[in-house]
Chain A
Amino acid sequence: MIWRFIIKRILWMVPFLIAVSMVSFLLIQAPPGDYLTTYIAKLAESNEVMDQASINDLRQRFGLDQSIFVQYWKWISNIVLHGDFGMSFEWRQPVSQLIWERMALTLLLSMATLIFTWAVAFPIGVYSAVRKYSVGDYIATTLGFLGLATPNFLLALILMYIGVVYFGSDVGGLFSDPFKNAPWSWDKVVDLSRHLWLPVVVLGTGSTASLIRIMRANLLDELNKPYVDTARAKGLSEFRLIMKYPVRVALNPFVSTIGWVLPQLVSGAVVTAIVLSLPLSGPLMLQALMSQDMYLAGAFVLMLSSLTVIGMLISDILLVLLDPRVRYE
Chain B
Amino acid sequence: MSDLSDTSGAATTGADRIAVASQSQLIWWAFRKHKLAMAGLVITVILYLIGAFAEVLSPEDPNDQDRRAVFQPPQMIHFVDTSAGFSIRPYVYAMERHRDPTSLAVTYTASDRKIYLHLFGKGAPYVFWGLIPGDLHLLATEDPSDRVFLFGADRLGRDMFSRVLYGTRISMSIGLVGVAISLILGVTLGGISGYYGGWVDTAIQRVIEFILSLPTIPVWLALAAALPPSWPIYQQYFVITLIISLVGWTELGRVVRGRFLALKNEDFVIAARLDGASEARIIFRHMLPSLTSHIIASLTLAIPLMILAETGLSFLGLGLQPPAISWGVLLKEAQNIRTISQAPWLFIPGLFVVFSVLAFNFLGDGMRDAADPYEQ
Contact = CB atoms under 8 A, between A and B. Distances in A.
Interface stretch (A28-36, A116-124, A247-255): A28-36
Interface string A140-166: 000001101111111001101100110
B212 A267 contact: no
Interface stretch (B84-92, B349-357, B368-376): B349-357
Given A158-B347, A263-B213, A145 B219 contact: no
Nearest to A30: B226
A216 to B, nearest CB: 13
B323 interface: no
Interface string B95-135: 00000000000000000000000000000000000000000
B271 interface: no
A275 B218 CA distance: 15
A301 B219 contact: yes
B46 interface: no
Interface in B303-319: 304, 308, 311-312, 315-316, 318
Contacts of A161: 337, 340-341, 344, 347
Contacts of B212: 260, 263
B337 A290 contact: no
A295 interface: no
A123 B333 CA distance: 38
A153 B312 contact: yes
A23 B213 CA distance: 12
A128 to B, nearest CB: 16
Given A30-B223, A31-B226, A32-B226, A304 B357 contact: no
A244 B372 CA distance: 34
A251 B215 CA distance: 25
Contacts of B335: 157, 275
B214 interface: yes
A308 interface: yes
B221 interface: yes
A158 to B, nearest CB: 7
B221 A149 contact: no
A164 B343 CA distance: 13
Interface residues of A, number: 50
B184 interface: no
Contacts of B340: 157, 160-161
Interface string B334-368: 11010011001001001001110110011000000
Looking at chain B's contact residues, the main secondary structure is helix
Nearest to B222: A27
A270 B218 contact: yes
A268 B222 contact: no
A290 B228 contact: no
Contact of A304 (B215, B226, B334, B358): B215
A300 interface: yes
Contacts of A146: 354, 358
Max chain A C-beta neighbours (<10 A), residue from B215, B225, B362: B215
Contact of B222 (A30, A150, A164, A170): A30
Given A27-B222, A285-B221, A300-B218, A150 B354 contact: yes
A308 B354 contact: no
B73 to A, nearest CB: 15
B216 A164 contact: no
Interface in B201-234: 210, 212-219, 221-223, 225-226, 228
Contact of B353 (A154, A267, A275): A154
A172 B315 CA distance: 18
B279 to A, nearest CB: 31
A178 B9 CA distance: 80
A305 B358 contact: no
Contacts of B331: 153-154, 157
Given A154-B350, A305-B215, A289 B315 contact: no
Contacts of A275: 335
A19 B357 contact: no
B217 A268 contact: yes
A195 to B, nearest CB: 16
Nearest to A311: B213
B218 A305 contact: yes
Contacts of B217: 267-268, 270-271
A157 B347 contact: yes
Contact of B361 (A148, A170, A270): A148
B172 to A, nearest CB: 15
B358 A165 contact: no
A202 interface: no
A264 B213 CA distance: 10
A19 B210 contact: yes
A148 B340 CA distance: 23
Contacts of B311: 151
A292 B227 CA distance: 12
Contact of B221 (A20, A151, A289): A289
Interface of A: 16, 19-20, 23, 27-28, 30-32, 145-146, 148-154, 157-158, 160-161, 164-165, 170, 172, 260, 263-264, 266-268, 270-271, 274-275, 285-286, 289-290, 292, 297, 300-301, 304-305, 307-309, 312
16 contacts: A19-B210, A30-B222, A31-B225, A150-B350, A151-B311, A153-B331, A160-B340, A172-B337, A263-B212, A263-B213, A263-B215, A271-B217, A275-B335, A300-B218, A305-B213, A308-B215
Interface of B: 210, 212-219, 221-223, 225-226, 228, 304, 308, 311-312, 315-316, 318, 331, 334-335, 337, 340-341, 344, 347, 350, 353-355, 357-358, 361-362
Given A32-B226, A146-B354, A148-B361, 16 more contacts: A23-B214, A31-B225, A151-B315, A153-B331, A154-B354, A157-B350, A158-B347, A161-B340, A268-B217, A270-B215, A274-B316, A286-B316, A286-B318, A301-B222, A305-B214, A305-B215
